[in-house]
Structure 1
Amino acid sequence: MQDDNERIRPPPSSSSWHSGCNLGTHTILKPLTMPDIQITEVDAPAESDQMSSPTDSRGLKPVQEDTPQLMRTRSDVGVRRRGNVRTPSDQRRIRRHRFSINGHFYNHKTSVFTPAYGSVTNVRINSTMTTPQVLKLLLNKFKIENSAEEFALYVVHTSGEKQKLKNTDYPLIARILQGPCEQVSKVFLMEKDQVEEVTYDVAQYIKFEMPVLKSFIQKLQEEEDREVKKLMRKYTVLRLMIRQRLEEIAETPETI
């Protein structure tokens, strides 16, 4: 059998010899016979996942060129967008539940906004509004969902004094009485159970250092001891006077 890829060579003739040779003395050549080549088919493996690439007569695999393929996408021409129409109630709910406070995004479904300590805010109030009413305004502005009964308003001075405003007080009047300077005293919104009220007598000793405070305690202890001794002498004298009078009454005879 003849291979298609193999080149066919013609039999040698007299023209292939050099000139000047003796043709009569040349031996007679036999015709060239082509060898028979048998090709057997190899059984392909059953259920093969990959296809074998064709090979040439030398057993080399041709290099497959990568052809660019474009992904088919849906055209926007035939797409009809749905209108985003919201009812007035939905718009009010979105405005209440999604907004920004000092640049921070707030969403009531995922987080609860807690203002940092010292955050300053302003609310519009009048002199007739009581402390619970002002608390509700502040909680509504910061979007705090806790009850207003858990908080209280405190007037905090620079000396450390903390004065709690009662429910019957008027925060605007209390703020005006503190003076126009905001550095002297401020009104803070704090939790009711975690803040202890500090009086003026205690606040005037807060900023002193420990050695000075210890000296104050020593002086107070000495003054207390002097007062205790003074009271003991006073009541000792009174006790003696009472006993002396009782003895005098017991010595005198009873009159009928």
Structure 2
Amino acid sequence: MGTDRRAAHRHSHDVCENCNIVLHVVFDSYCWTLDRMSEGQIYVKLSEDKLIPKSDVLSLLRTYNCYHEGKNFQLRTREEDGEFILEGLLNIYWGLRRPIRLQMYDDNERFRPNRNSCVLVKQLSAESNNNSLIRETGPAGDDAAVPEEDECPQLLRTRSDASFMQIQRRSKTRSARDLQRLRTHRFSINGHFYNHKTSVFTPAYGSVTNVRVNSSMTTGQVLNLLLHKFRVENKSEEFVLYMVHESGERTRLRDDEHPLVTRVLHGPCEKISKILITEADLGEEVTYDVAQYIKFEIPVLDSFVQKLKEEEEREIRKLTRK
């Protein structure tokens, strides 16, 4: 009995000693991190539980800005309360399958038609998020057929509220009376025309827009900013952002993730990777392993499945013989 007690005592002592060693290692690591931060080491948040050293971000940022040299997509940096912040334009690609609902009127202006003039509202600049608008006027005939303006931004509009999703293509010529009736119900949100009777549209799949953000903004904040820019009434919880790769891999951006930092980490080339907005209930992540097979034709995939089945049958026969 005495021997067993001594052995148990030694075992418990060894366990306690090992625990102390682990605690010391963790504590030393924590102190080392604090020392680095106290020495002036600044980190950039990728998410709530992931930090990236400022030096690494600056290295990636130089490549990013070099790629966009001479363009509006170069990012600027600043420090605020000891925090290193990136800011600039972020491209987001539309990947919606269902119509979205817009507000009936723009906050800045209600579209007022004029019988003797055709008003064309354009977006002032892709760089601006403040809904600045510019007007251009041109004469319109009274009774003669008038050609439809090709400069008008085209949207995939729905003919009914949301149930009928067939695209209504406009004819190249309309009478002056038809144009007058059309302008009476036409409004502009950030340069995009839509009919206020339906106030719904589906952005063209794969088309791109942009918003001005900074590296402290989370995924939810970026979504809210994008929806506010186009006066979308749908809630931001209905949408998600994905990082889509050329290989077919698709990774969802977490709610606490910072999209601008993610963009910089993945590099500037949007042919290799891009940020896509889609419906929360329709989006699906695609792992790298699965993405390897996406580009194969169905017959090729069927042959893979057949070979796997044959290999499985051979293994089963081997096991049954044993």
TM-score (norm 1): 0.48
TM-score (norm 2): 0.39
User: When you count strand as a share of all residues, which structure comes out higher?
Assistant: 2
Please tell me whether Structure 1 or Structure 2 has the larger radius of gyration of its CA atoms.
1
